[in-house]
Amino acid sequence: MRYVVGYQPDQRGADAVALAVAIARAQDATLDLMLVLGEDAPYIAANPDGPRVHPEEQRTLTAQRQALALVPADVEAAFHVRHGHSFAATLIEAAVEFEAALIVVGAASNGLFKRYTVGSVANALLHASPVPVALAPRGYHRTEPVERITAFIGRRQGADAAVDVALIAAGRRNVPLRFVSLVELDERGDSGENINAAHRHANTVLAAAARRLPAGHEASVEVAHGRTFEEAVDSLEWLEGELVIIGSSRLAQKNQLFLGSTANKVLRALPVPMVVVPRDYERAESHPLG
């Protein structure tokens, strides 16, 4: 199993590598760390033993050393240099070529610590990737294995793929699974039925999950509500080793991502990494989190 990691020699690149390591650990997964250079950058073959090193080559070799130094000995990783006009498009091309199960990137560098600001690369991936995309919040450095998986559930198209992935991932990793339903309260105060409906749906999902999880596996549901989705997310308690799984919008093309308005709001409030699963994703049985 391979994960493509969008690497840059900066904080965002380090965040992405840390998250990729945390997800890959104990999964026998290989990380493909991708440094993407512009199409006009010179094509230079690395020659560390040569008498002279071109400045561009030196920068690439330095980036390679820095990237691989972030990967612990128990995780296999390879470093690649690709040229392309688009960082996101180049990552997608690599993921398709390597038959990767996941693309991992860091959030934009101008976000608040442990929060997200979706930059152009992540935004492009979240609207075009045919494989799940994992986003690391700014300042993420935890590389220990995932402690709990939280799946946001809903009744719109796209949610089922995320639930399937969460079930497989939690079952194989033997980590607790939490289903969360978010309710945005009506300003008129008439939200009781929406909350009740969310509880009924959440319990239905939990009952179905119990039939698919190993006996005794820990699973729970929560309904979080607030005046906004961001407020509802803020009301939840999070573990340091939490990983969120969410489905992409019903507007997405089949087997592609499209981050809808609700997911965008959730993303802005999350303090933990998130994996977005394409609509009707058909590789759940071999999913990177499984």
DSSP per residue, the chain: -EEEEEE-SSHHHHHHHHHHHHHHTTTTPEEEEEEEE-TTS------TTSS---HHHHHHHHHHHHHHHTS-TTSEEEEEEEE-S-HHHHHHHHHHHHT-SEEEEEPPTTSPTTS----HHHHHHTTT-SS-EEEEPTT----SPP-EEEEE--SSTTHHHHHHHHHHHHHHHT--EEEEEEEEPPTTS--HHHHHHHHHHHHHHHHHHHHHSPTT--EEEEEEEESSHHHHHHTS---TTEEEEEEPPTTSPTT-----HHHHHHHHH-SS-EEEEPTT-S-GGG-TT-
Average pLDDT of the residues in 86-109: 90
Which pLDDT tens digit goes with each residue over 134-193? 999 888 999 998 899 998 887 655 567 778 888 888 887 888 999 988 887 765 555 677
Q: Pick from 136, 162, 181: which residue ends a domain?
A: 136
pLDDT above 90 for 81: yes
Domain that holds residue 52: 2-136
Kindly give, in sequence order, each residue whose CB lies less than 8 Å from that of residue 89, ignoring residues fewer than 6 positions away. 124, 128
Of 57-66, 67-76, 260-269, the one with minimum mean pLDDT is 260-269
Of 56-60, 118-122, 195-199, the one with minimum mean pLDDT is 118-122
Average pLDDT of the residues in 103-118: 67
**Is residue 124 domain-resident?**
yes
**Is residue 278 domain-resident?**
yes
Query: What pLDDT does 116 receive?
Result: 59
Looking at the structure, do residues 241 and 195 belong to the same domain, yes or no? yes
Segment of 78-82, 132-136, 273-277, 283-287 carrying the highest mean pLDDT: 78-82
**How many domains, the chain?**
2
pLDDT above 90 for 200: no
pLDDT tier for residue 119 given thresholds of 50, 70 and 90: low
Looking at the structure, do residues 116 and 155 belong to the same domain, yes or no? no
Q: What is d(CA 147, CA 244) in angstroms, rounded to the nearest whole number?
A: 11
Average pLDDT of the residues in 61-82: 95
Q: What is d(CA 15, CA 135) in angstroms, rounded to the nearest whole number?
A: 9
CA angle 191, 193, 196 (to 5 degrees): 110
Q: Pick from 91, 110, 136: which residue ends a domain?
A: 136
Q: What is the CATH number of the domain that holds 31?
A: 3.40.50.620
pLDDT above 80 for 129: yes
Q: What is d(CA 48, CA 64) in angstroms, rounded to the nearest whole number?
A: 12
Query: What pLDDT does 178 receive?
Result: 93
Looking at the structure, do residues 159 and 116 belong to the same domain, yes or no? no
Inter-residue contact 251 to 260 (CB < 8 Å):
yes
The candidate with the shortest Cα–Cα distance to 104, out of 129, 74, 75, 68, is 129
**Is residue 152 domain-resident?**
yes
pTM, to two decimals: 0.83
Average pLDDT, the chain: 80
Q: What is d(CA 55, CA 64) in angstroms, rounded to the nearest whole number?
A: 14
Q: Is 9 exposed, middle or buried (0-12, 13-18, 19+ CB in 10 A)?
A: middle
